[in-house]
Chains A and B, each alone.
Chain A
Amino acid sequence: MTQPAILAEGLEKRFGALVAVDRCSFVVNEGEVFGFLGPNGAGKTSTMRMIACVSPKTGGRLEVFGLDVNERPREIKAMIGVVSQENNLDPDLSVYDNLVVFARFFELDRAEAARRADELIEFFGLGEKRDTVIEVLSGGMKRRLTIARALINRPRLVILDEPTTGLDPQARALIWERLRTLRDRGSTILLSTHYLEEAERFCDRLVIMDNGKILIEGRPDEIVSSRMGRAVIETVDDPAVLACLAREGIAYERFGDLVHITTNSPEPLIQRLVSSCNPSRLSVRNATLEDVFLRLTGRGLKD
């Protein structure tokens, strides 16, 4: 068995009395795209900051490429690229200068830095803005540049905290497309996101966190099929329908003005519903990660 990219055992982070990460254990294999999902305050960012060696762990074991985060932070940081949630580019510098200045922090020489900067500018479609001061760039361009900057040291592991939050669909699509290329080249990618559909499509494996704990871990399709079944039947929240469902012994969940029935074999169930309950509206769709997410973390607002 090859060495994992990240190994966490009983990982813990406390801020005074608040437990941000509560004895979490997980393994991220090299070459894998691994997702952290969870509502705000679940502990995703705290976990990623500990992995990036910028926030000391309170307890447990945490290794990146076999190196302990407490003992070898400098070597670990040389091997990873970090895209934080907040934009922290240098607003006074141009796109190109942002990249070459950052390259120096990794001890790259001038020629190599220039070569990689131009390569990344090309890869992220920023060529026209190469010498523009970044203050005037759009949100999507700034984000692309932040990701480009995180790749300047050709990291083995890329950590992205909500890389697409707040961007328009075009900008998001472009970022996912580039990340896919990166994955195909063999980089390990660790990311958090609120876009569950994107996580479902893009992550090899993921965890859903809430209140500092990992609630579930696995491949997105396996998580959905094990927790929800194949399909979700939606019908109206109507007293007559509810009474009928109870009479028929069909389990259901109420979400707002809808009733959800999850199942692995929707067809016979639909026939039964139509013939015995006769609801005014009925639809069936595939179960999604979002269904699992909401079932596990609840529907109440988190902050």
Chain B
Amino acid sequence: MDGQISWRVRHVWGRNLQVFLRTWKVSFLPPLFDSLFFLIALGYGLGQFVQEIDGVGYARFVAPAIVAIGIMNASYFETTYGSFVRMYYQKTFDALIATPITIEEVIVGEILWGATKAVIYTALILPLLAVFGVISLPDSLLLIPLALLGGLLFGAIGLCFTAWTPSIDTLSYPQFLFITPMMVLSGTFFPIESLPLPVQYVAYAVMPLAHIVSLARALTLPAAAPFALVSLAWLVVATGLVMFIAVRQMRRRLVV
């Protein structure tokens, strides 16, 4: 039963896609509205009282961060609440591992699906933001590969919490202890440089969103981004590491 991962992963992903294609009409709209509300409230409402940052208006400053938050939410919620429902209530994983598919393939397939949700979200929100004039196309299309990377990372993070949580109720703990602070402190709504230096270090050390936000800005705004490659490397290494942990932890939970 040792780690076996093959191209059968695509069947796990395909199963989720098939269900999504059946229910997409109800599930794809909320995240888009979420982002647009943030853009209106912050970019246009609050933005009237905020000076330009790095030579751009506030709406253009928060737009890439709103996409970054959307990437995080799309994948993280898919592999926490979505995966937990499949694992615990629908027993989907039990059905899958009764076939030639291994538990490792189930886990990797779930993470890939989480990342796919982030990519779908990004592909849909970009033209909307372009209509509002807060990002420019086609330059910003590079946010789509970023969504894949960020989606893999947050998908894997979500699955770790799914492996550890005793019930669906306790999934709210990582949300308000990890996701919410990250959403507001990762240089999303104000430049991370305005935080005290030690807090900045902590933010870059433990908050994946901080790296995604800074990369998203580097890809959409003209401002110089000296640490973009560092952020990219951080994300790649973290994604590999957390995926490894997610597979191990889920195996511990499910193989009994």
Contacts and interface: CB of A to CB of B under 8 A. Distances in A.
Interface of A: 15, 52-56, 70, 73-75, 77-78, 82, 84, 86-93, 97, 101-102, 104-107, 153
B99 A77 contact: yes
B98 A104 contact: no
Interface in B207-245: none
A153 B100 CA distance: 11
A105 B19 CA distance: 15
Give 7 closest A-B pairs by Cβ, nearest first: A88-B91, A105-B99, A82-B98, A88-B95, A92-B19, A74-B100, A78-B100
A91 B19 CA distance: 9
Contacts of A53: 1
A77 B98 contact: yes
A102 B99 contact: yes
Interface in B1-16: 1, 4, 8, 11, 14-15
Contacts of A105: 8, 11, 96, 99-101
A71 B220 CA distance: 51
Contacts of B90: 88, 90-91
Interface string B34-45: 000000000000
Contacts of A54: 94, 97-98, 255
Contacts of B14: 101, 104
A187 to B, nearest CB: 16
B99 to A, nearest CB: 4
B256 to A, nearest CB: 6
A93 to B, nearest CB: 7
A16 B18 CA distance: 39
A141 B95 CA distance: 18
Contacts of A78: 99-100
Nearest to A159: B98
B253 to A, nearest CB: 13
B243 to A, nearest CB: 22
B1 A70 contact: yes
Contacts of B94: 54, 84, 86, 88
Contacts of B194: none
Contacts of B101: 105
Contacts of B99: 77-78, 102, 105-106, 153
Contact of B98 (A15, A52, A56, A91): A52
A56 B91 contact: no
A97 B18 contact: yes
A71 to B, nearest CB: 10
A56 B96 contact: no
Given A106-B99, A153-B99, 20 more contacts: A53-B1, A54-B98, A54-B255, A56-B255, A70-B1, A74-B102, A77-B99, A78-B99, A82-B98, A88-B90, A88-B91, A90-B95, A93-B22, A97-B18, A101-B15, A101-B18, A104-B11, A104-B15, A105-B8, A107-B8
B92 interface: yes
B23 interface: yes
Contacts of A106: 99-100
A107 B18 CA distance: 16
Contacts of B18: 93, 97, 101
A90 B19 CA distance: 8
Nearest to A75: B100
B98 A74 contact: no
B100 A92 contact: no
28 contacts: A15-B256, A54-B255, A56-B255, A73-B102, A74-B4, A74-B100, A78-B99, A82-B98, A84-B91, A84-B94, A84-B98, A86-B94, A87-B91, A90-B15, A90-B19, A90-B90, A90-B92, A92-B19, A93-B19, A97-B18, A101-B15, A101-B18, A102-B99, A104-B11, A105-B8, A105-B96, A105-B101, A106-B100
B15 to A, nearest CB: 5
A84 B18 CA distance: 23
A133 to B, nearest CB: 8
Interface string B178-193: 0000000000000000
B254 to A, nearest CB: 9
A246 to B, nearest CB: 51
A92 B22 contact: yes
A116 B136 CA distance: 50
Contacts of B8: 105, 107
B91 A86 contact: yes
A52 B8 CA distance: 19
Contact of A73 (B1, B91, B96): B1
Contacts of B100: 74-75, 77-78, 105-107
A125 to B, nearest CB: 22
Contacts of B22: 92-93
Contacts of B92: 88, 90
A99 to B, nearest CB: 12
